[in-house]
Amino acid sequence: MGNQSIFEIRDVSKRFGGVTALENVSFEIQPGKVHAIVGENGAGKSTLMKILAGILTEFDGHILLRGEAIQFTGPCDAEDRGVSIIHQELNLVHQLSVAANIYLGREEHGKFGWLRQQAMDKAAEALLRRLECQVRSTDIVGSLRVGDQQLVEIAKSLSLEADVLIMDEPTSSLTEVEVERLFRVMESLRAAGTTILYISHKMSEVFRLADTITVLRDGRHVRTLPRQETSPGEVTRLMVGRELKPFDAKTHEHVGDVLLSVRNLFLPWPGHAKPWRLHDISFELRRGEVLGIAGLMGAGRTELMECLFGAQPASLSGEIRLRGSRVSWSHPRDALQAGMAMVTEDRKNLGLFAQLNVGQNISLCHLREIARSGVLRPQLERQAVTSTMEQLRIKAPGPSAVIGQLSGGNQQKCIVGRWLLTKPQVLLLDDPTRGVDVGAKEEIYELIRTLCEQGLAILLTSSELPELIALCDRMLVLREGVVTAELVRADFTEEKIMAAATGVAE
C-alpha cells in the first residue's frame, strides 16, 4: 500500500448476526480528493462509512489512518482525529435551535460556566451563510423542512473543520439550487486539502465531483477506478451486476374515471407574511393515472399531500371529493379507511417505527384484516408480510429482523409494502425514491407502472425532474403554493418545468 493514503482499508468484514454486511473489503483513499463510494442499497456503503467514522467500533480487519492502525472508540474519538460524517438519516434534536444542534456536545462556555450563546449563534450564522442558507441560527430545527434540516446537518459537520469529511447522500433532500451551493462548498473544501468520501446514487453527481470511484456490491469490493477512466454505464453495471434496461417512459393506456377531485384548496399560514401555504389549488386525478407535482423546496408539494391525507393540523378550505363524494379528514386514519394511502418524504421520522421489526412495520396498517374478534392471527400476519417482502424484493434476514439494520432502500420498500397491504385506490407518493439506488429505483418504477395497470390513481412528487418526466402522465407545477402550470406528457421538458417552478421565462 502506498504511503500517501489517508485511509487504508484492509480486509474489513462486518456481520450483524447471521448477515454479512462487509466481506474482506480492501482499498485506499488518497488525501485531498473526492472519493465516491457507490453501490446498491445493501451493498455495505453506509456500514463501511460508519466504521470509518467510529460509529461501529467492532469489526474484523484493519483500518489505517495516515499510516497508523486505528480502531476508534466512538464518533467523538474519530472527530478528535479529524474524521466527521454527515448522515443520510438526519441526526438532529428537533426541540433545539439550529445553533444548539450545530454545537451540541461542543458548547462554548464563558466565565462561571455560562453558555456563550451569542458567540455560537454568530458562528452558526456564518456557517449557514457559507451554505447560502436562509435559515436563522435561532430557528427551532423541528419547525424546518427536511431539506433545511439537511443543510443544518451539513453546517454541523463543517463546524468541525475535519480533515476527512464523509457525506452519505447529502443531496437527497436538497433542491437543485441548494445542491449547486453544496457543490461550491465542496470545491472550496477540496481546494483547501480536505478529503471527501462521497456516497451517492446519482451518477451525474458522482461523475461531476469524484476523482476516484469505488464500487461495492453485496458487501464486497468490486473495483476502484479513476473517474476519467470509466463511465456511468460501466459503474452502474458494476453496481448491479447486470445490464439495466432504460425505463420506457410512456403514457399509461388504461386511464379511467375521476377518483380524486380537488377544488379551490386553500391552506393558511398563520403568523407569516405570506398568508397561505397553498392557494386556490384545483385538479383531478383519474384511475390508472400518475399525476406529478413538481416544484422547488417550499413550493407546497408536501403540504398538498398532507392536506389530502388528513395530516395537516392547520384548517383548510376548499373542496376534496373522493369517488364523487365530498370528504373532510380529521385524521389520516379516516383517509386510510376511505381508500387512500401515503408514503411520506421523511422516512426516518414519519415512516419507520424503529422499535418494531421488519414484519411489524409492514403489517402495521393491516392488523384489522388479520385479526379475529380483536385477536391477532400470527399465521395470517406472516403470510401477508412474507408475500409483500417477496413482491417488493425486500432484502432482509426475515420478518423478525431489526428495521434499522436494513439499507435505506429496503426500509423504503417496507413502507411502500405497508401501504399496499391496505389495498388503496389512491396512492400518494412523496419523493418515494429519495436515497434509493438505481436498482431499487428500477423496481419502484416498474411497481408504479403495474399499480397503474391495476387501476390505482397515483399522485407523485419527486426532487428529480427526469423521474417525474419518465413516470407521469400529467404534471402540476407549484411555486410558493400556487399552481403555475399544468402540463401533459407532450409538453414535458426540464426547461418548461423549471421556468414554471422559478417564475423565470424560458
Instruction: Give the pLDDT score at 242.
Output: 59
What pLDDT shows up at residue 506?
A: 42
Q: Report the alpha-carbon angle 268-272-275, nearest 5.
A: 40
Tens of pLDDT along the chain (506 residues) come to 445 789 999 999 998 877 788 999 999 999 999 999 988 767 888 889 999 999 999 999 999 999 999 989 999 899 889 999 987 767 788 899 999 999 988 888 887 888 888 899 999 999 888 877 888 999 999 888 777 887 888 888 888 888 999 988 888 767 777 788 888 888 888 988 889 999 987 788 899 999 999 999 888 999 999 999 998 888 878 887 755 555 555 655 678 899 999 999 999 887 766 788 899 999 999 999 999 999 876 788 999 999 999 988 778 899 999 999 999 888 999 999 999 999 988 777 788 888 889 989 998 888 888 877 778 788 888 888 999 998 888 888 888 888 887 877 788 889 999 999 899 999 999 988 876 777 777 888 888 988 998 899 999 998 778 889 989 999 999 988 899 999 998 888 887 887 788 765 44
pLDDT at 505: 46
d(CA 404, CA 46): 12
Q: Scanning the structure block, which residue is given the C-alpha cell 408536501?
A: 302
d(Cα 196, Cα 218) in Å, to the nearest integer? 23
**Any idea what the Cα angle at residue 92 is, between residues 89 and 97, rounded to 5°?**
150
Q: Which residues of 120-143 are buried (b: 16+ CB within 10 A; e: fewer)?
A: bbebbbebbeebebebebebebee
| Domains and their CATH numbers in the chain | 7-240 (3.40.50.300), 256-339+424-506 (3.40.50.300), 353-423 (no CATH)
- Cα dihedral sign, 87-93-97-100: negative
pLDDT at 203: 83
Take residue 185 and report the three cell numbers written for it. 462548498
Question: Where are the alpha helices (H) located in 338-399, listed in sequence order?
Answer: 358-363, 378-391
**What does pTM read for this prediction?**
0.61
**How much is the pLDDT for 251?**
58
Q: How far apart, in whole angstroms, are the C-alpha atoms of residue 181 and residue 188?
A: 11
Residue with cell 444542534: 101
Q: Is 99 helix (H, G, I), strand (E, B) or coil?
A: helix
Q: What is d(CA 43, CA 217) in angstroms, rounded to the nearest whole number?
A: 5
